[in-house]
Structure 1
Amino acid sequence: MTDAHAIGAPEWQRARLHVVTGKGGTGKTTAASALALALASGSGTPRRVLLAEVEGRQGISQTFDVPPLGTDETRIARTRSGGEILGLSVDAKAALLEYLQLFYKLGRAGKLLEKFGAIDFATTIAPGVRDVLLIGRLYEANRRRRDGRHRGASPAAYDAIVMDAPPTGRIGRFLSVNSEVADLARVGPIHSQAESITDLLESEQTLVHIVTLLEEMPVQETLEAVRELRSKDLRVGLIFVNMVRDPLLDDVALEQARTGRLHKPSISSQLADAGVTATPELVDGLLEEAYDHAHRVDLETEQLALLEETGLPLVILPALPEGVDSGSVRELADILLDELEEVGLAR
Structure 2
Amino acid sequence: MSRLQVVSGKGGTGKTTVAAALALALATEGKRTLLVEVEGRQGIAQLFETEALPYEERKIAVAPGGGEVYALAIDPELALLDYLQMFYKLGGAGRALKKLGAIDFATTIAPGLRDVLLTGKACEAVRRKDKSGRFAYDYVVMDAPPTGRITRFLNVNDEVAGLAKIGPIHNQAQAVMRVLKSPETAVHLVTLLEEMPVQETVDGISELRSARLPVGRIIVNMVRPEVLDAADLELVRTVPRSTVARSLSSAGLGGARRGGRAERLVDPLLTQAEEYAERYALEHEQRAVLTELGLPLHELPLFAEGVDLAGLYELARELREQGVS
TM-score by length of 1: 0.87
1:320 pairs with one of 261, 282, 303: 303
Q: Residue 116 of structure 2 aligns to which amino acid in structure 1?
A: V
Q: Evaluate the alpha carbon distance shift between residue 119 and residue 276 of structure 1 in structure 2; reply closer, same or farther with a 3 A threshold.
A: farther
Does residue 241 (structure 1) correspond to residue 220 (structure 2)? The answer is yes
SS class of match (2:39): coil
Residue matched to 2:67: 83
- Native 8 Å contact 1:173 1:180 kept in 2: no
Q: Does 1:266 align with 2:243?
A: yes
Deviation of 1:334 after TM superposition, in Å, equals: 0.9
Q: Which residue of the other structure, out of 114, 125, 128, is the alignment partner of 1:130?
A: 114
Show the counterpart of 1:21. Answer: 8
Taking the TM superposition and a 5 Å limit, the aligned residue runs for 1:297-308 are 297-308=280-291
Unmatched 5+ stretches in structure 2: 255-260
| Equivalent residues in 2 for 1:97-136, closer than 5 Å | 97-136=81-120
- Is 2:30 aligned against 1:51? no
Following superposition, the deviation at residue 40 of structure 1 comes to 0.8
Q: Partner residue of 2:267?
A: 284
Is the alpha carbon distance of 1:105 and 1:251 closer, same or farther for their aligned partners in structure 2, counting shifts above 3 Å? same
- TM-superposed CA distance for 1:156, in Å, is 0.7
Q: Distance in 2 between matches of 1:62 and 1:52?
A: 14
Contact 2:85–2:94 (CA under 8 A) maintained in structure 1: yes
- After TM superposition, the structure 1 = structure 2 runs for residues 198-237 of structure 1, keeping only pairs within 5 Å, are 198-237=177-216
| Partner in structure 2 of residue 194 of structure 1 | 173
- State the partner residue of 1:68: 52
Contact 2:193 2:220 in 1 (8 A): yes
Counterparts of 1:276 and 1:90 in 2: how far apart (Å)? 58
What is the TM-score when the length of structure 2 is the normalising length?
0.93
Give, as a single letter, the amino acid of the residue that structure 2 aligns with 1:144: R
Alpha-carbon RMSD across the aligned residues, in angstroms, is 1.7
Question: In structure 2, how many angstroms separate the alpha carbons of the residues matched to 1:106 and 1:70?
Answer: 23
Partner SS for 1:176 = helix
> Size of the alignment, in residue pairs?
319
Q: Which one of the candidate residues 161, 167, 171 is aligned to 2:150?
A: 171
Cα deviation, residue 275, structure 1? 4.6
Alpha-carbon displacement from aligned partner over 1:31-54 (angstroms, at most 9, x marks no partner): 11111111111xxx3100001110
Give the stretch that moved more between structures: 178-187 or 102-111. 178-187
Asked whether the 8 Å contact 1:144–1:156 carries over to 2, the reply is yes
Larger radius of gyration: 2
Segments of 5+ residues of structure 1 without an aligned counterpart are: 1-12, 148-152
Amino acid at match of 1:124: T
Deviation at 1:320, TM superposition (A): 1.2
